[in-house]
Amino acid sequence: MSRATSLVSTDWVQENLSNPNVVLIEVDEDTSLYEKGHIQGAITFHWREDLQDGLIRDLISKEKFEALLSKNGISNDSTVVLYGGNNNWFATYAFWYFKIYGHQDVRLIDGGRKLWELKGLPLVTEVPTRTASRYVAKERDNSIRAFRDQVIASIGIKNIVDVRSPAEFAGELAAPAHLPQEGGQIKGHIPGAKNIPWSKAANEDGTFKSNDELADLYKTAGVDFSKETIAYCRIGERSAFSWFVLHELLDLQNVTNYDGSWTEYGSLVGVPVAVGA
Amino acid sequence: MRTCGATPGGPDLAGVDLANQAVIQGVVLRGGVSDGVPNGAPVDNAYVRLLDLNGEFTAEVPTNLEGQFRFFAAPGSWTVVVLAHGAREEVKVQAQTGIPVDLVIQI
């Protein structure tokens, strides 16, 4: 994994709009954005309806993932290129998801939908028709996913990175400021966690900072790259962004995303919690 | 900047629990006479960022089809930054629970 294999530029996308092996997928928090306009040829995945099992609050099963990709004409050898709004939060979550199920060639558009729009590049409303395929997923790779008991056992041992805003970390806000203030039962953070907001890894136009800047960001904040790192946020999307930075761009292999995140941790009974900066 | 009034810039506040939320919202309009766009046209493809007192990023939303946006902040000083194709604007605001900040931002 590296910047070269995980990230593509808006120029690359423009050059590959007609490439039959490339499947563009938009994944947004605000799912109405796709209907408003999307990159030519792109399909969309709904982060909740397509990618969450509503009954047991988990990732969808391997069989459902296979059905989703098959229905959308994605093959095991497709080059999947993800992008979305909100600085690619939900697109990086989908990227992590594709990696969980072992897809070989998945990439992210640097800057996502925002950079595409800020550059004034064209969006279309036409929804492409794709011929169904027969996709076969691998068993889940849980080496990039953290579970709550692992997180609790990691306090004071591994790097735990809270990628939410400082106000959420301190316990002043329960959710990002563009959402109603709801989330875990209590506010605060996991004791010992370093607060390195996801946004510090991104430039204003949504592109990622350079690898030197990124490594400096985490090291200065006290992350020891020789140890395992767990990233978390509120519901696992922003932490997927920071997981992408650490695991894909900085090529650190011992990094997991705790997708249960604060919504799960902040609702547990009797676990240690810290508040304040 | 306008405060809560009959014709706010941001989305309709019906259904928002104003008693418990410190809302910052508004509308982004494309102004000027030489850009080929009529004055006052809503900008439906802008990105609005909310920075805290220290200039730290807190949230970002795209504008809706009417050029509107909304944040649920905490009481205090905030900076709203609007990014759009060829434009960048900053507005400093004071948020408080119960009285929404409602902005009309020309770019």
Q: Residue B71: what are its φ and ψ, rounded to 5°?
A: -125, 150
User: Where is the domain boundary, A99, A114, A140?
Assistant: A140
The rounded distance, in Å, linking the Cα atoms of B28 and B82 is 8
Q: Residue A145: what are its φ and ψ, rounded to 5°?
A: -125, 135
The domains found in chain B, sorted by start residue, are 2-6+20-106 (2.60.40.10)
Per CB-CB distance under 8 Å, the chain A contacts of B100 are none
Residues A149 and A127 in one domain: no
A157 domain-assigned? yes
Residues A193 and A112 in one domain: no
Distance (Å) of CA A102 to CA A139, A160, B17 = 7, 25, 43
Per CB-CB distance under 8 Å, the chain A contacts of B57 are 165, 197, 199-200
Inter-chain residue contact B60 with A33, CB threshold 8 Å:
no
Q: What integer pLDDT is reported at residue A57 of this predicted model? A: 87
For testing the chain A interface, which of B23, B43, B61 should be mutated: the one with the most A CBs within 10 Å?
Answer: B61
Residues A136 and A163 in one domain: no
Whether B85 contacts chain A with CB within 8 A: yes
Q: What integer pLDDT is reported at residue A30 of this predicted model? A: 82
User: Where is the domain boundary, A140, A157, A176?
Assistant: A140
Chain A residues interacting with chain B (CB cutoff of 8 angstroms): 30, 33, 36-37, 85-87, 114, 117-120, 165-167, 172-173, 175-181, 197, 199-200, 204-205
A251 domain-assigned? yes
* Residue-number span of the structural domain to which A258 is assigned: 143-265
Whether B59 contacts chain A with CB within 8 A: yes
Active site residues of A: 233
> Measured between CB atoms, which of A119, A178, A204 is closest to B72?
A178
Chain A: closest CA distance from residue B6 (Å):
23
Q: Whose CA is closest to A74, among A131, A138, A139?
A: A131
Q: What integer pLDDT is reported at residue A197 of this predicted model? A: 94
Residues A101 and A163 in one domain: no
The rounded distance, in Å, linking the Cα atoms of A152 and A20 is 45
Q: Where are the beta strands (DSSP E) in A65-117?
A: 79-83, 106-109
A273 domain-assigned? no
Residues A131 and A208 in one domain: no
Judged by phi (left if over 0) then psi (alpha if -120 to 50, else beta), residue A156 lies in left
Residues A16 and A132 in one domain: yes
Q: Residue A244: what are its φ and ψ, rounded to 5°?
A: -60, -45
Q: How many domains are there within chain A?
A: 2
ipTM of the complex: 0.78
Q: Residue A51: what are its φ and ψ, rounded to 5°?
A: -115, 0
Q: Which residue does chain B place closest to A118, by CA atoms?
A: B85
For the domain that residue A179 is a member of, what is the CATH number? 3.40.250.10
The residue count for chain A: 277
Per CB-CB distance under 8 Å, the chain A contacts of B80 are none
* Pair B62, B55: CB distance under 8 Å: no
Residues A11 and A25 in one domain: yes
> Measured between CB atoms, which of A85, A167, A204 is closest to B74?
A167
Q: Whose CA is closest to B104, among B37, B33, B48, B35?
A: B48
- 3-class SS of residue A250: coil
- Kindly tell me the number of DSSP H helices and DSSP E strands found in chain A: 11, 11
Q: Residue B47: what are its φ and ψ, rounded to 5°?
A: -120, 130
**Chain A, chain B: beta-carbon pairs less than 8 Å apart:** 70
Residues A252 and A179 in one domain: yes
A274 domain-assigned? no
A276 domain-assigned? no
Whether B37 contacts chain A with CB within 8 A: no
The rounded distance, in Å, linking the Cα atoms of A175 and A261 is 12
Residues A19 and A45 in one domain: yes
A244 domain-assigned? yes
Residues A52 and A123 in one domain: yes
Q: Where are the beta strands (DSSP E) in B1-107?
A: 2-3, 22-30, 41-42, 47-51, 57-62, 68-73, 76-84, 87-95, 101-106
Residues A152 and A239 in one domain: yes
Per-residue pLDDT of chain B (107 residues; tens, 9 = 90+): 434 443 558 899 888 888 888 999 999 999 755 555 446 899 999 999 999 898 988 889 999 989 999 999 889 999 999 999 999 999 999 999 999 999 999 99
Whether B71 contacts chain A with CB within 8 A: yes
Q: What integer pLDDT is reported at residue B1 of this predicted model? A: 40
Burial class (CB in 10 A: 0-12, 13-18, 19+), A209: middle
Residues A106 and A196 in one domain: no
Per-residue pLDDT of chain A (277 residues; tens, 9 = 90+): 689 999 999 999 999 999 999 999 999 988 888 998 999 999 999 998 999 998 998 999 999 999 999 999 999 999 999 999 889 999 999 999 999 999 999 999 999 999 999 999 999 999 999 999 999 999 999 999 999 999 999 999 999 999 998 889 999 888 887 776 667 789 999 999 999 999 999 999 999 999 999 999 999 999 999 999 999 999 999 999 999 999 999 999 999 999 999 999 999 999 999 999 8
